[in-house]
Amino acid sequence: MEEPRKRARPGRSPAPAGRTARPRQAEVARLAGVSQATVSLVLADKRQGPAISEETRRKVLEAARSLGYVPDPAARRLAAARNNLLGVFSFTATFPTDVQHSYYPFLVGVEREAAERGYDLVLFTGSSTGGAGAAGPDALSRVRLADGCLFLGRHAPVEELGRLVADGFPVVHLGRRDEPAGLHWVGADYVSAAREVVGHLACLGHRRMVLIREDDEAPASTDRERGFAEGLEAVGDGSVFRSADPERDLTPERLRSWLADGVTAFVAEETDTGAAWRALRRAAADAGIECPRDASLALLGSPPADLADGPEPTGFDIPRTRLGAAAVRMLAALVAGEEATEPLVACTFRPGATSGPPPATEDH
């Protein structure tokens, strides 16, 4: 016997083909041509905060009706519970930290700006360090206890962050991220800073350089590599050495081979592990290369704390405290339902003591 066909509910447009999940605020925002924050305010019928025109309200409500949007009651209760709390979540173990940890200056800026704006901070550490709930689709759901959350870390779970963004939960990542789409972030201008370091080496007379970096696609690494390449475009040529384990793969023999081929300067990226700079320093020492007499070294960032006692490396300093403050400003704006933008923060060039003119040879 043929089953009766189901009739569409009145007042609701049929779901688009292939849709299996409930429509999200991000889809309403795209259809209406407004921000997720605006959609959240209109659907919650909030009249305080930034003024929203009746035309904008009409477009949002029409978009919601056409998509069949139904608010998540749990999310609505959480969204209404504004309690002046901002979350801070790291994807690497950083809490508790000390003044020598590379994340410490970020946290100083975060704390100062949050206090100035009347917010308290909640540090979420269980998922970042492998504790209860460290994996799975709901690993980040606990951050909804706060009004919004700031995320730190080189490698972040894109899918889980995407759920928060799609739900309209205020999220800011400290550091450039291309995914998930719609994620707000603040970052430093690593491209210009790396280009300036290469330009400094070129002014000293270096024409062949090697960039040593870790083997991943973290945006901070790709930005540094881009700046390295741009700095060399008009003055010389270079190559990039990528390794998942630079301390194993960057050997003294490899350095000597590069020197024999005419390389006179080595540039390493900074990461939270410091692996590239650590490997370069060790290989140069084991190869008997005296810096800067035999070759110049540069670091695209600051040295790790355990290597800070050596000669100050040529490179740049990252304005971590300013970046932390900028991230809080952006997050506070999102929590308030406002448009949020922050310019890239410029890094400060550091002349250092590890660079000089290339060695005098027949080729130079």
Is residue 131, in this structure, part of any structural domain at all? yes
Do 115 and 157 lie in one domain? The reply is yes
Range with top average pLDDT, 103-107, 274-278, 352-356 = 352-356
Percent of the chain with pLDDT over 90: 52
349 within 8 A of 318, measured Cβ to Cβ: no
Do 310 and 215 lie in one domain? The reply is yes
Confidence of residue 134 (pLDDT cuts 50, 70, 90): very low
Helix intervals (H) in the chain? 25-32, 36-43, 54-67, 73-80, 104-116, 158-166, 190-203, 219-232, 246-249, 252-260, 275-286, 320-335
Tell me: pLDDT of 20 over 60.
Answer: no
| pLDDT confidence of residue 233 | 93
Q: How many domains does the chain have?
A: 3
Do 58 and 88 lie in one domain? The reply is no
Report the C-alpha dihedral over residues 34, 37, 41, 43, rounded to 10 degrees.
70
Question: The CATH number of the domain where 333 resides is what?
Answer: 3.40.50.2300
User: Residue 40 belongs to what domain range?
Assistant: 25-67
| pLDDT confidence of residue 255 | 97
Do 300 and 330 lie in one domain? The reply is no
Query: For the ranges 30-39, 80-89, 116-125, 254-263, which has the lowest average pLDDT?
Result: 80-89
- Dist. CA 286–CA 278, nearest whole Å: 12
Question: What is the average per-residue pLDDT within 292-318?
Answer: 91
Confidence of residue 308 (pLDDT cuts 50, 70, 90): confident
Question: What is the average per-residue pLDDT within 283-305?
Answer: 94
Range with top average pLDDT, 21-30, 138-147, 170-179, 255-264 = 255-264
pLDDT in tens, 188-232: 999 999 999 999 999 999 999 999 999 988 899 999 999 999 999
Percent of the chain with pLDDT over 70: 82
Do 136 and 113 lie in one domain? The reply is yes
Is residue 337, in this structure, part of any structural domain at all? yes
Tell me: pLDDT of 177 over 90.
Answer: no
- Dist. CA 271–CA 248, nearest whole Å: 17
Cα–chain center distance at 23: 28
Predicted TM-score (pTM) of this structure? 0.72
267 within 8 A of 210, measured Cβ to Cβ: yes
Tally: H helices and E strands in the chain? 12, 11
Amino acid type, 358? P
Question: What is the average per-residue pLDDT within 238-265?
Answer: 96
Is residue 212, in this structure, part of any structural domain at all? yes
Do 105 and 178 lie in one domain? The reply is yes
Instruction: Name the residue with higher pLDDT: 350 or 2.
Output: 350
Do 164 and 211 lie in one domain? The reply is no
* Residue found by looking up tokens 């971590």 in the block: 320
| pLDDT confidence of residue 153 | 81
| pLDDT confidence of residue 96 | 57
Instruction: Name the residue with higher pLDDT: 177 or 223.
Output: 223
- Dist. CA 119–CA 161, nearest whole Å: 22
| pLDDT confidence of residue 213 | 96
Query: Which DSSP string corresponds to 329-357?
Result: HHHHHHHTT-----PPBPPEEE--SS--P
Q: How many CB atoms lie within 10 A of CB 292?
A: 22
Cα 332–Cα 336–Cα 338 angle in degrees, nearest 5: 95
pLDDT in tens, 38-63: 888 888 765 555 678 889 988 988 98
Tell me: pLDDT of 288 over 70.
Answer: yes
Do 60 and 148 lie in one domain? The reply is no
184 within 8 A of 173, measured Cβ to Cβ: yes
Do 141 and 49 lie in one domain? The reply is no
2's CB contacts (< 8 A; 6+ apart) are none
Confidence of residue 136 (pLDDT cuts 50, 70, 90): low
Tell me: pLDDT of 135 over 70.
Answer: no
In the DSSP assignment, the letter for residue 203 is: H
Is residue 74, in this structure, part of any structural domain at all? no
